Amino acid sequence: MDPASDTLVPKIVVKNFSAFYGSVQALHNVDFAICERKITAMIGPSGCGKSTFLRSLNRMNDFVPGFRVEGSVTLDGQELYAPSVNPVLIRQRVGMVFQKPNPFQMSIFENVAYGLRIQGVKSRSVLSDIVEKSLRAAALWDEVKDRLNGGAFSLSGGQQQRLCIARALAVEPEVILLDEPASALDPISTARIEELMQDLKDRYTIAIVTHNMQQAARVSDRTAFFLDGTLVEVNETTKIFTNPEDSRTEDYITGRFG
Amino acid sequence: MAETVRPEKGLSPFRKVRNLLLGSLTAIAFVLAVTPLLAIIYVAYDRGKSALSLSFITSLPAGFPVGIEGGILNGIVGSLILVVIASLFSVPIGIWAGLYLWDQSHTRMAKTTRLFSDLLLGVPSVIWGVVGFYVFSTNTGYGFHWGFSGLAAGLTLGFIMVPIVTRVTEQALHDVPMSYIEGALALGASRFQMVRGLAIPAAITGIGTGILLGVLNVLGQTAPLVFTNYYNTGIPHSLVGSNGSVGDLAMQIFIYIHEPSKELHVKAMAAALVLTVIVLLLDMGIRLLAWGSRKYAQKNG
Ligand SMILES: Nc1ncnc2c1ncn2[C@@H]1O[C@H](COP(=O)(O)OP(=O)(O)O)[C@@H](O)[C@H]1O
Ligand SMILES: [Mg+2]
């Protein structure tokens, strides 16, 4: 690991952030920073607001009727929820991988090329290069290089999820958000995704939601514990799992509830 | 690896009986679904076979009473004209409205629009016909003064088709999984790009079905034609004015059956068989088209 890995450079800074679905408040005054080239894990019992928080970081909740936010989220200092900001451009910089693999009903090649095509890239050779690079980065290239024109649904669940990661990488985002990306996968596929995240963290800022504490402990540099829509504690992962400051965190990681 | 399970072995007698029962219910449902279609084809063929020949679909009605000789080319051409006019009008509007209702589904405006569209679905076609008469056909009072004409009837039928296409388009779009849509948006697709590149291709089979349902409805309508077009034994030279009426298969069957002539009854049943075959061919054509466009979308994005 490089010596710089101990310095924390905030990439996304969240201040006094609250989120509402209609009249229901899902997040209460969260203060939090996601640091550059680190893996930040978010843990907490189901329904505590992890997905809501994650989806607020690339404005995916904009499509939920009645959703609204208060407070501030900045990406490299730029206010995400400012009226002048185009959320489409934010989503190109902050990519997302979902719980259930959701490849498009297209060929493997076209799945990875989709994000580039919508940006207007037409050159076949440029597309081919980036598709190959992205599939390699997602550790999927060797398995699919002979059937790039085959349908994405012919892949296994784990392969589909790595395809979705490749698809997200192809548009060269700065941040990748993963919402329980392995919860629908078998242990071997899960291990591959976790390895992959280690490979990716040299180049990307990664935030992962997981309800699997072992996974958070294995993959992340920093861990945040959410409970009932509030951020209870965020710290270095080793600290959270060995010596948490808040007794509720300790209760959760020792399995006393959740 | 899951072990292979052999369903028949080691089942309790109760399970066996239940499987048999459910199996036979499925078979009965199948028979119930298939019988009417076969019955229609059989009866129409049996009653109309003596009139069937190639010239039946390539020549115009002749003789006296008109139709005793010749064929039903006027009806085939007229029905085609009506379907084309009705579709040109209703497909763009219906798809646009369906997209709008899907996209804005929670707004009050969309809810009101949906309510009205659904109410229109229930308006009896005879009422559309009467309104079409006053709006398009009548030569006195307000309206377009197009006379009994293909354009008047085509647009009236188009109005009947719009809520059908709207309804089915919206439903087909709602059936596109949310995860699919979010996948595209998370890659930085604009809403428009997502709709055009993903949602519509994914819903295309459903939208095609909606258009088909509308077209089939139009093909079977007679009541609106009674007031806006009536019938023409020849090929029209114009779509409006005093010579603007078109022939129509459903009207032709309706008129022939009402004539006190055995020969015309036979011709009516032969025409019914032709209409049924056209409907079945259209159905298969649309399915093929939907299938093809999905294949194309899979390949080319
Ligand atoms: N689309 C939505 N509409 C209304 N309430 C929602 C919606 N999504 C989530 N919620 C509510 O917000 C809270 C947090 O949910 P979520 O962020 O999905 O939690 P987690 O990902 O930690 O399980 C829950 O109480 C949930 O019911
Ligand atoms: Mg969640």
Inside any domain, residue A226: yes
Q: Which residues of A touch B202 (CB under 8 A)?
A: 105
The answer for residues whose C-beta is within 8 angstroms of residue A250's C-beta and 6 or more apart is A244
> In which residue are the tokens 């693999």 written?
A101
Residue A242's CATH number: 3.40.50.300
Query: Which bin fits B6, alpha (ψ -120 to 50), beta or left (φ > 0)?
Result: beta
**B175 contacts chain A (CB < 8 A):** no
Q: How many domains does chain A have?
A: 1
pLDDT at A158: 94
Neighbours of ion ligand 2 (CB under 5 A): A 51
pLDDT digit string, tens, across residues A121-146: 999 999 999 999 999 999 999 999 99
Does the CB of B202 have a partner CB in chain A at under 8 Å?
A: yes
**With an 8 Å Cβ cutoff, are A110 and B198 in contact?**
no
Average pLDDT, chain B: 91
What residue spans of chain B are helical by DSSP H?
13-48, 54-58, 73-103, 108-121, 125-132, 150-174, 178-186, 191-194, 200-220, 223-228, 249-258, 262-300
Amino acid (1-letter code) at residue A104:
F
Give yes or no for a cis peptide into A181 (omega within 30° of 0): no
Q: In this model, does residue B285 exceed pLDDT 90?
A: no
Q: Which ligand is nearest to the CA of A179?
A: 2
Task: Please provide the CATH number assigned to the domain covering B76-300.
Answer: 1.10.3720.10
Region B284-298 average pLDDT: 77
Has residue A258 been placed in a domain? no
Set of chain B residues whose Cβ sits within 8 Å of the Cβ of A65: 106
Question: Tens digits of per-residue pLDDT, B130-179?
Answer: 999 999 999 888 889 999 999 999 999 999 999 999 999 999 999 999 99
**What is the model's pLDDT at position B1?**
42
Do the domain assignments include residue A139?
yes
Average pLDDT, chain A: 93
CB under 8 Å, gap of 24 or more: what pairs does A73-80 form? A73/A12, A73/A13, A73/A14, A73/A15, A73/A17, A74/A12, A74/A13, A74/A15, A75/A11, A75/A12, A75/A174, A75/A175, A76/A11, A76/A174
For residue B6, the model assigns a pLDDT of 57
Lowest mean pLDDT among B5-19, B83-97, B176-190, B260-274: B5-19
pLDDT tens across A160-210, in order? 999 999 999 999 999 999 999 999 889 999 999 999 999 999 999 999 999
Q: Which ligand 1 atom sits nearest the alpha carbon of residue A50?
A: 22
Measure the CA–CA gap between B191 and B184, rounded to whole angstroms: 9
Subunit contact A88:B190, Cβ cutoff 8 A: yes
Average pLDDT over residues B226-232: 95
Minimal-distance CA residue to ligand 1 atom 8: A52
The answer to whether the CB of B115 falls within 8 A of the CB of B124 is no
Exposed/middle/buried for residue B181 (C-beta within 10 Å: 0-12, 13-18, 19+)? buried
From the list B106, B177, B187, the residue facing A114 with the nearest CB is B187
* Residues of A in Cβ contact (< 8 Å) with B186: 58, 60, 91, 95-96, 98, 168
Q: Residue A1: is its pLDDT beyond 50?
A: no
- Domain of residue A32, residue span: 3-253
List chain B residues with CB under 8 Å of A92: 187-188
DSSP letter string, A81-135: T-TT--HHHHHHHEEEE-SS----SSBHHHHHHHHHHHTT---HHHHHHHHHHHH
Question: Exposed e or buried b for every residue in B257-278, given b needs 16+ CB within 10 A?
Answer: eebeeebbbbbbbbbbbbbeeb
Q: Does B301 score more than 50 pLDDT?
A: no
> Are B184 and A104 a contacting pair at CB < 8 A?
yes
**A41 belongs to a structural domain:** yes
Residues 6+ apart with CB under 8 A from B300: A110
Q: Which residues of A touch B (CB under 8 A)?
A: 58, 60, 63, 65, 88-89, 91-92, 95-96, 98, 100, 102-107, 110, 113-115, 117-119, 149, 151, 164, 167-168, 171
Q: Is A49 in the pocket of ligand 1 (CB under 6 A)?
A: yes
Measuring from atom 18 of ligand 1, which residue has the nearest CA?
A51
Q: Interface pTM (ipTM) of the complex?
A: 0.91
Question: Can you give the residue ranges of every domain in chain B?
Answer: 76-300
Residue of A nearest to B296 (CA): A106
CB contact under 8 A, B186 and A96: yes
Specify if A16 maps to a domain.
yes
CB contacts < 8 Å between A and B, how many?
A: 81
pLDDT tens string B166-177: 999 999 999 999
A86 lines ligand 1 (CB under 6 A): no
Mutate to test the pocket of ligand 1, among A18, A27, A52 (most ligand atoms within 8 A of CB): A52
Q: Which helix (H) or strand (E) holds B176?
A: none
Using a 6 Å cutoff on CB, does residue A114 contact ligand 1?
no
CA-CA distance, B294 to B301, in Å (whole number)? 10
- pLDDT at residue B298 in the model: 62
**Which residues of chain B make contact with A118, given a CB cutoff of 8 A?**
184, 187-190, 193, 197
Residue A90's pLDDT band (boundaries 50, 70, 90)? very high
Give A42-66 pLDDT, tens digit per residue.
Answer: 999 999 999 999 999 999 999 898 9
- Closest chain B residue to the Cα of A66, Cα to Cα: B106
